[in-house]
Amino acid sequence: MSTAALDPIVLEALGRMAKEGSIKASASMSKLIGQTTAVESFAVRRAMVEEIAQTVGKPEDQITAIVLDMSGDAFGSMLLIFPETSAKNIADLLQKRPLGSTHTLTDPDISALKETGNIIAGSFLAAISNFLDLNIIESVPRISSDMLKAVIDSVLASFLEQRLEEAFVFEIQFSMGTNEGMATQHVPEIKINTHFVLLLDSKSVDKIKGILKEHPWGERR
């Protein structure tokens, strides 16, 4: 099977892994915020490195991005990108404030968002690790709130020496605060939009392609 023929398999497989990860992440988020959280929509696409920002939004859109690096059996980075409104809504939910209270993210808000990034990215990573039987270690999260393109390009820059050409972009919408189940206070349902960008170095992509070539449905174990 040629590399080109494997590409749709890689995309589909990563999509399935990420979807499973997002469902696990929503369950963890439910516990964290004390409100029902669900995955409303999910989409996956590939993007050339220079086109990632425009895949996500407008260059000067204010966003908050949480970044974790991967090491071990695969090397790369994961970016979790929230539009500013979603980031502030999450901060309100986590800090038990009325929605719309946050105008500027404070240090405790940033810590809470990092924890959110840790949960979501960790769930994705667990799904990928289990599916591919890889031991992938994640770094501590880092965060930046600024212009979309300025933030994304700054992460991409460190990959250019590795001749990275493409990335996988997952677009996920969570609904939070449906006031069901474990709800402790009334919170109107809100939609949290996020983009999850998976950047892998070329060796890691080749390794994953090799695994999927032999075990396209994850029956490696």
Q: How far is the CB of 151 from another protein (least distance, A)?
A: 5
Give me the numbers of helices (H) and strands (E) for the chain, helices first please.
6, 7
DSSP 164-199: --EEEEEEEEEEE----TT--S----EEEEEEEEEE
**Coil/strand/helix, residue 154:** helix
User: Per-residue x/- mask for another protein, residues 20 to 59, rule CB under 8 A?
Assistant: ------------------------------x--x-----x
Q: How far is the CB of 154 from another protein (least distance, A)?
A: 4
Residue 210's H or E segment, with its range, is: helix 202-214
Report if residue 164 touches another protein, rule: CB under 8 A: no
Report if residue 160 touches another protein, rule: CB under 8 A: yes
By C-beta, is 50 or 133 nearer to another protein?
Answer: 50
By C-beta, is 142 or 191 nearer to another protein?
Answer: 142
> CA angle 74-218-47, nearest 5°?
55
End-to-end CA distance of the chain: 22
Report if residue 158 touches another protein, rule: CB under 8 A: yes
C-beta contacts of 182-187 below 8 A and 24+ residues apart = 182/30, 182/31, 182/34, 182/35, 182/36, 183/34, 183/35, 183/36, 184/34, 185/34, 185/96, 187/35, 187/93, 187/99
Report if residue 78 touches another protein, rule: CB under 8 A: no
By C-beta, is 41 or 139 nearer to another protein?
Answer: 139
DSSP state of 100: T
By C-beta, is 29 or 49 nearer to another protein?
Answer: 49
Which of 157, 165, 180, 184 is in the footprint of another protein by CB under 8 A? 157
Report if residue 166 touches another protein, rule: CB under 8 A: no
Report if residue 19 touches another protein, rule: CB under 8 A: no
Report if residue 62 touches another protein, rule: CB under 8 A: yes
Q: How far is the CB of 60 from another protein (least distance, A)?
A: 5
Which of 16, 46, 114, 142 is in the footprint of another protein by CB under 8 A? 142
Q: Which residue, 197, 186, 108, is CA-closest to 152?
A: 197
Report if residue 154 touches another protein, rule: CB under 8 A: yes
Contacts of residue 15, defined as CB under 8 A and 6 or more positions apart, other chains included, come to: 42, 44, 170
Residues in contact with another protein by the rule CB under 8 A: 50, 53, 59-60, 62, 67, 69, 142-144, 146-158, 160-161, 163
